[in-house]
């Protein structure tokens, strides 16, 4: 089998010929979901030195098998009875894969077709897969069949000639899908052939849902770490829905080309004509006439100010037209805006805000027409000093009861949010402002009532560290439309409103409390060394992470990279890492004779689930010995992982089904913010010594690491080491050997330490992805993150 359904596992990256990545069926043969009258066969390869009689294979398959042919790589093609249909063929395949003498097995159709090397053209309708390499020959342009045979032998797989490509190159196919790391290694083997000038894997060019708005590169707040919100990852799941309405209760919203088609018919709720500045009181026109004031107009000593166009700016953050090759991108491509004007010259009145809240969700307000487009999210980038009055809390309670999410900006007074309404009201999501560097801004309000932080900008208005959005050029009355960058918690709140809108677009039934919980649990932690990390009670749960929150809302949880375990079964654990569309896991446990052992599994995965096979390896490199490539010892069974959130899930394998969760190396370590210079958690290796690997994680300055390798007899073994980092970039400790613990399928028993000092270990991290490892014999090797 192509080492667990096409993924060459990290701990067995044996790219020598002994890896036996042989003769998997070509994509034009491999049609598992074939019509019912298709004739199936199974192509399988025995482990070196092993074989089985046809009778044993038929017995294991529970059906009569006929040997159709033997390929030149000594793989057997076994014909299934004509009556076998797709489902049963897959069951037969699974039974044969579990035989200890079988290296790999694959289901093919059209089995009577000879498997000799042949020229063919790739079907234009064929789904691309990782099964192709390009190469160029040194001295001639034509690739003859004898040379193709030689290249197949050099690669260790059967190659098919697909077509010529530009520049005198050639496109070759490998039968069956393989992992990118395996494909890359195969290309490197081809380059060792004297006739090959170069060889490269064919990789996919995956598009990301990144908008083409001309100012998007300046919108660091939407995509940039550490202070941004990762909206492109959210847009890959949902770009929003026009059925989800966000009410912008603000100063009114002006028409703008980047808001065209996004504004619903709102309302002007201002009752005081001296504040409204539009010549009348409440009416159905929520446009902003301007809120400029002269000196002392808002009170003695109050300075003059130009019109703020505040509501227009807020509306653009949430719902600007996106991917229109102009202006800015909004957080929700299809999210609709309901403009409600509650603030004018010198601000607004709390009574108007109260009526705005109720009208926004479709509740009746005396003297105003009904709202037939009620909002699911209310954005209030406004407020005042003082307690949350009962009248305001009552309106908020009514809105919450209708199912609306209420997002409130914390305020810009650099004081405790407990003294700022409505951010201090119960049930609202109060939002503090962080800057581009991922820490609290100097102006934001703070305190225990803050639920989450979001980008508010920390530079002067008009600067690159502020928040770009839709605007108007008028200093008093409206003039030409434009764009402007502003800073304030008023800019932070709309990011959270935008996230909530995307979450509701994929799961409309989420309640306000569920929205808050998911936003908080998926937030990006503050980096160690920041004020918010030092005083976490002041800044909420972290910086809102749109991608993580939307995935969480969809029920698609990516597991956090690091150590996992079942707390009732200490001494046995799992290192799990997901990169892109692939997952790799190794389990450390014990054999029936008590010795430590490990199994690995990896391959393509969904966001929150994985199915694959456990593979055992033997005969590889020891802790201090010379490099020896390991050998695939066969399958130990199948495995299924299902994650209920990023830190919890279930594991089903030969030992049954158990619940697993992230392992706390130190108390509250899983959620501890990373240090400013902290090596990445996950798999590390030396690329020249494939087959041996190291899994490490650092939580709150404490490292836990396991090394997966082999003993002097070639049997798999693991050692562990744990302790405080000796500095920000170094660790010193000892390797410990465990034994006599829980087996793969046996009942639980605690392990014991059989050697507390196998040898010393020293790690010097030269970056977050590279290190120098000093082995017990003093030899130093370079380690790097393994990017499977």
Q: Which residue has the higher pLDDT, 144 or 471?
A: 471
- The verdict on whether omega for the bond into residue 422 sits within 30 degrees of 0, i.e. cis, is yes
Q: Which of 178-192, 589-603, 681-695 shows the lowest per-residue confidence on average (mean pLDDT)? A: 178-192
Let me know if the fold of 30-112 is the same as that of 115-205. Answer: yes
Tokens in use for 112? 């009577």
Q: Which of 251, 490, 497, 541 is catalytic?
A: 490
Other Cβ atoms within 10 Å of 3 Cβ, number: 26
Q: pLDDT grade, residue 619 (50/70/90)?
A: confident
Please tell me the predicted confidence (pLDDT) of residue 55: 86
- Mean per-residue pLDDT for 446-473? 93
Q: Which residue has the higher pLDDT, 372 or 556?
A: 372
Q: pLDDT grade, residue 517 (50/70/90)?
A: very high
Is residue 309 exposed (0-12), middle (13-18) or buried (19+ Cβ within 10 Å)? buried
- The single residue listed with the structure tokens 């701990």 is 11
DSSP type of residue 21: -
Is there a contact between 541 and 673 (Cβ–Cβ < 8 Å)?
no
CB neighbours of 592 closer than 8 A, spacing ≥ 6?
A: 743, 746
Concerning whether 439 is annotated as a catalytic residue, the answer is no
Element (H, E) at 354: helix 350-360
- Give the CA angle between residues 579, 580, 584 to the nearest 5°: 35
pLDDT in tens, 635-646: 788 888 888 778
Please tell me the predicted confidence (pLDDT) of residue 264: 97
Looking at the predicted structure, is the pLDDT value of residue 305 above 80?
A: yes
Looking at the predicted structure, is the pLDDT value of residue 249 above 90?
A: yes
Please tell me the predicted confidence (pLDDT) of residue 622: 85
Please tell me the predicted confidence (pLDDT) of residue 549: 93
pLDDT in tens, 711-750: 888 888 999 999 999 999 999 999 999 999 888 888 888 9
Is there a contact between 716 and 586 (Cβ–Cβ < 8 Å)?
no
Please tell me the predicted confidence (pLDDT) of residue 200: 78
Domain boundaries of the chain, sorted by first residue:
30-112, 115-205, 216-295+303-542, 562-785
- CA–CA distance, 785 with 788 (Å, rounded to integer): 9
pLDDT in tens, 759-782: 999 999 999 899 999 999 999 999
Pairing of strands 429-434, 452-455: parallel
Looking at the predicted structure, is the pLDDT value of residue 243 above 60?
A: yes
Tokens in use for 588? 């450390």
Topology, domain 216-295+303-542: Rossmann fold (3.40.50)
pLDDT > 70: what percent of the chain? 89
pLDDT in tens, 392-419: 999 999 999 999 999 999 999 999 999 9
Q: pLDDT grade, residue 156 (50/70/90)?
A: confident
Q: pLDDT grade, residue 607 (50/70/90)?
A: low
Please tell me the predicted confidence (pLDDT) of residue 260: 96
pLDDT in tens, 279-289: 898 999 999 99
Q: Which residue has the higher pLDDT, 221 or 29?
A: 221
Looking at the predicted structure, is the pLDDT value of residue 359 above 80?
A: yes
- Mean per-residue pLDDT for 646-656? 87
Please tell me the predicted confidence (pLDDT) of residue 556: 67
Largest CA distance in the chain: 101
Please tell me the predicted confidence (pLDDT) of residue 121: 24
Please tell me the predicted confidence (pLDDT) of residue 25: 26
Mean pLDDT over the full length of the chain:
84
Q: pLDDT grade, residue 443 (50/70/90)?
A: very high
Please tell me the predicted confidence (pLDDT) of residue 377: 98
Concerning whether 490 is annotated as a catalytic residue, the answer is yes
Please tell me the predicted confidence (pLDDT) of residue 420: 94
What are the DSSP E strand ranges found in 50-158?
66-70, 76-79, 102-109, 132-137
Q: Which of 250, 258, 268, 352 is catalytic?
A: 250
pTM of the model: 0.58
- Mean per-residue pLDDT for 232-257? 94
Please tell me the predicted confidence (pLDDT) of residue 444: 96
Looking at the predicted structure, is the pLDDT value of residue 96 above 60?
A: yes
Looking at the predicted structure, is the pLDDT value of residue 34 above 60?
A: no
- The verdict on whether omega for the bond into residue 226 sits within 30 degrees of 0, i.e. cis, is yes
Concerning whether 18 is annotated as a catalytic residue, the answer is no
Q: pLDDT grade, residue 539 (50/70/90)?
A: very high
Please tell me the predicted confidence (pLDDT) of residue 14: 26
CATH architecture group of domain 115-205 = 2-Layer Sandwich (3.30)
Looking at the predicted structure, is the pLDDT value of residue 544 above 80?
A: yes
Q: Which of 20, 170, 256, 310 is catalytic?
A: 310
pLDDT in tens, 182-221: 777 788 788 878 888 888 777 544 334 678 889 999 999 9
Q: What is the secondary structure of 616-645 as a DSSP string?
A: EEES---SSS-----EEEEEEEEEEEEEEE
Please tell me the predicted confidence (pLDDT) of residue 181: 62
DSSP type of residue 100: T
pLDDT in tens, 102-115: 777 777 753 332 22
CATH architecture group of domain 30-112 = 2-Layer Sandwich (3.30)
Please tell me the predicted confidence (pLDDT) of residue 41: 82
Looking at the predicted structure, is the pLDDT value of residue 342 above 50?
A: yes
- CA–CA distance, 348 with 227 (Å, rounded to integer): 31
């Amino acid at each position: 089998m192509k080492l667990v359904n096409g993924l060459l596992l990290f701990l067995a990256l044996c790219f020598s010929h002994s890896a036996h990545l042989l003769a998997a069926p070509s994509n034009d043969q491999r049609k598992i979901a074939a019509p019912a009258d298709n004739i199936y066969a199974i192509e399988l390869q025995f482990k070196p030195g092993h074989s089985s009689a046809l009778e044993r294979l038929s017995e294991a398959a529970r059906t009569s098998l006929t040997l159709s042919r033997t390929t030149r790589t000594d793989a057997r093609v076994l014909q299934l009875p004509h009556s076998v249909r797709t489902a049963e063929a897959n069951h037969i395949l699974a039974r044969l894969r579990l035989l200890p003498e079988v290296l790999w097995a694959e289901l093919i159709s059209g089995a009577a077709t000879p498997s000799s090397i042949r020229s063919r053209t790739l079907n234009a309708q064929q789904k691309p897969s990782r099964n192709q390499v390009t190469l160029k020959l040194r001295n001639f342009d034509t690739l003859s069949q004898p040379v193709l045979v030689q290249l197949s032998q050099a690669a260790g797989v059967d190659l098919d000639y697909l077509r010529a490509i530009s520049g005198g190159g050639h496109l070759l196919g490998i039968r069956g899908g393989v992992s990118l790391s395996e494909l890359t290694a195969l290309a490197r083997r081809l380059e060792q052939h004297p006739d090959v000038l170069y060889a490269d894997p064919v990789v996919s060019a995956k598009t990301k849902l990144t908008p083409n708005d001309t100012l998007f590169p300046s919108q660091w707040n939407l995509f940039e770490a550490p202070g941004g919100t990762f909206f492109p990852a959210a847009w890959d799941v949902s770009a929003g829905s026009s059925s989800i309405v966000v009410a912008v209760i603000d100063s009114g919203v002006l028409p703008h080309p980047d808001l065209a088609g996004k504004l619903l018919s709102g309302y002007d709720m201002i009752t005081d004509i001296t504040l409204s500045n539009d010549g009348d009181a409440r009416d159905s026109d929520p446009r902003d006439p301007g809120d400029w004031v002269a000196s002392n107009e808002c009170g003695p000593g109050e300075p003059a100010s130009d019109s703020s166009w505040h509501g227009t700016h807020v509306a653009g953050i949430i719902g600007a037209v996106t991917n229109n090759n102009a202006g800015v991108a909004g957080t929700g491509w299809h999210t609709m805006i309901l403009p409600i004007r509650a603030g004018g010259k010198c601000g607004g009145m709390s009574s108007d805000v109260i009526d705005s809240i109720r009208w926004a969700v479709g509740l009746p307000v005396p003297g105003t027409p009904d709202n037939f487009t009620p909002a699911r999210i209310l954005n209030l980038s406004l407020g005042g000093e003082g307690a949350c009055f009962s009248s305001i809390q009552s309106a908020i309670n009514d809105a919450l009861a209708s199912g609306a999410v209420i997002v409130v900006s914390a305020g810009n007074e650099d004081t405790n949010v407990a003294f700022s309404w409505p951010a201090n009201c119960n049930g609202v999501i109060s939002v503090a402002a962080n800057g581009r560097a991922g820490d609290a801004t100097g102006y934001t309000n703070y305190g225990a009532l803050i639920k989450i932080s979001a980008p508010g900008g920390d530079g002067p208005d008009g600067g690159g560290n502020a928040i770009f959005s839709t605007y108007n050029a008028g200093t008093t009355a409206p003039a030409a439309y434009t764009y402007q960058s502003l800073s304030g918690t008023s800019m932070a709140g709309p990011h959270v409103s935008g996230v909530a809108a995307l979450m509701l677009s994929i799961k409309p039934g989420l309640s306000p409390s569920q929205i808050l919980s998911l936003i908080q649990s998926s937030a990006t932690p503050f980096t160690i060394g920041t004020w918010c990390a030092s005083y976490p009670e002041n800044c909420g749960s972290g910086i809102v992470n749109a991608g993580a929150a939307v995935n969480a809302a969809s029920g698609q949880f990516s597991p956090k990279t690091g150590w996992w375990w079942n707390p009732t079964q200490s001494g046995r654990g799992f290192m799990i890492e997901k990169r892109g569309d692939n997952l790799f896991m190794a389990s450390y446990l014990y054999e029936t004779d008590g010795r430590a052992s490990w199994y690995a599994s990896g391959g393509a995965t969904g966001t929150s689930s994985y199915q694959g096979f456990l593979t055992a390896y033997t005969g590889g490199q020891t802790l201090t010995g010379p490099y020896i490539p390991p050998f695939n010892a066969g399958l130990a069974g199948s495995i299924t992982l299902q994650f209920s959130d990023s830190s919890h899930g279930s594991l089903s394998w030969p030992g049954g089904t158990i619940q697993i969760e992230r392992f706390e190396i130190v108390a509250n370590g899983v959620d501890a913010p990373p240090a400013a210079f902290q090596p990445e958690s996950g798999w590390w290796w030396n690329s020249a010594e494939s087959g041996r690997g190291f899994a490490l994680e650092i939580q709150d300055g404490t490292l836990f690491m396991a090394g997966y390798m082999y003993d002097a007899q070639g049997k798999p073994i693991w050692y562990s080491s744990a302790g405080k980092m000796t500095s920000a970039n170094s660790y010193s400790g000892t390797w410990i050997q465990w034994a006599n613990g829980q087996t793969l399928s046996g009942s639980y028993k605690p392990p014991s330490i059989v050697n507390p000092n196998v040898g010393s270990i020293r790690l010097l991290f030269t970056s977050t992805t590279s290190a120098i490892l000093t082995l017990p014999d003093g030899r130093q090797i370079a380690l790097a993150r393994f990017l499977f």
